[in-house]
Structures are given as structure tokens and as C-alpha cells.
């Protein structure tokens, strides 16, 4: 049984839904050591989140952003946010993050995430300028045969 934990950061991105599957996989070299297992990803922020969804059409990313911005507006009619110390986009970002979630648990097979053909990991950036985002990956599983023989 292999167990690891690694902290890493994603580059700053503007508000929106960004495919980061390859970036996440390359930030976790320990994946290559797993034949079969699980990796839990936690984003250590409350104004950005993670989700797993369709990775082929850019329209999906546009529609996600449009829906979330309409569902949780910065200036809702007849309502005022109380938590505004960090800007008008902060409280809506916290709510959007709670809707999508701050973690994912993904299967690993043969040293890579074992996702569906059209699935990808999204960084959901809910702030206009959220900065770099810190994640923790915790993985466990059976080591690959090449590592067992070493």
C-alpha cells in the first residue's frame, strides 16, 4: 500500500471555469507509482472550488460561468451582502464555492486519473482576481508492478 500527500499550487486565473486536469496530474508525480487507488483533492480556499465535468466543449465553461453569475449575483435586487470587506465578489464567491464543493475524490489506474472520456477537473475561480490557488492531494493505493520489483 502506497500513501502520499502533496501540496501544490495552481497558477492565478481570472473568474471562470478552467480545465486543470493535466496541470493537476503533473503536480502529483506520485500518481505514476499507483497501479490502482484513489486521490483526494482539496482546494484550500473558500472563494474557489473544484468540480468534475465535461472537458471537450468550451461552451460548457461559458455556460457554467453565466449560470453561476446569474444564480449568485454580486448585487442582488433588494438584498445586500454583509460580508463585503474583501470586495463585492467575495461573498458571492463563497456561496458559489459551497455549491460546487471544495474537494474531489478520484480513481487512479495505471498511474493516471481514471476519468471518463469527456471528463475533466475544473478549477472554479469565483473571484475576479483570486490569485494562485493551493491544493492538497492525498493518495493511497496499490503500487505499480514496476515499483514492486525495484
Beta bridge partners of residue 10, listed in sequence order: 133
The structural domain count of the chain equals: 1
9-66 per-position pLDDT tens digit: 999 999 999 999 999 999 999 999 999 999 999 999 999 999 999 999 999 999 999 9
Q: Domain range for residue 123?
A: 2-149
**The domain that contains 60 carries what CATH number?**
2.60.120.460
81-122 per-position pLDDT tens digit: 999 889 999 999 999 999 999 999 999 999 999 999 999 999
The answer, as to whether pTM is greater than 0.95, is no
Ranges assigned E (strand) in 67-144: 103-109, 112-113, 119-129, 133-143
Inter-residue contact 31 to 143 (CB < 8 Å) = no
Contacts of 110 (CB under 8 A, 6+ apart): 35, 144
CA distances from 133 to 18, 23, 150 (A): 12, 12, 35
Q: How many residues does the chain have?
A: 150
Amino acid at each position: 500500500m502506497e500513501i502520499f500527500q502533496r501540496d501544490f499550487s495552481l497558477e492565478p486565473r481570472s473568474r471562470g471555469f478552467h480545465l486543470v486536469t493535466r496541470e493537476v496530474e503533473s503536480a502529483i508525480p506520485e500518481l505514476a507509482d499507483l497501479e490502482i487507488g484513489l486521490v483526494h483533492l482539496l482546494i484550500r480556499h473558500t472563494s474557489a472550488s473544484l468540480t468534475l465535468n465535461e472537458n471537450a466543449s468550451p461552451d460548457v465553461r461559458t455556460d457554467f460561468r453565466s449560470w453561476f453569475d446569474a444564480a449568485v449575483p454580486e448585487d442582488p435586487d433588494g438584498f445586500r451582502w454583509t460580508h463585503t470587506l474583501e470586495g463585492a465578489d467575495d461573498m458571492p464567491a463563497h456561496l458559489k464555492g459551497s455549491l460546487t464543493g471544495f474537494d474531489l475524490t478520484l480513481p487512479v489506474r495505471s498511474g493516471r486519473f481514471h476519468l471518463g472520456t469527456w471528463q475533466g477537473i475544473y478549477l472554479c475561480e469565483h473571484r475576479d482576481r483570486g490569485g494562485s490557488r493551493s491544493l492538497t492531494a492525498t493518495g493511497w493505493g496499490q503500487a505499480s508492478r514496476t515499483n514492486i520489483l525495484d
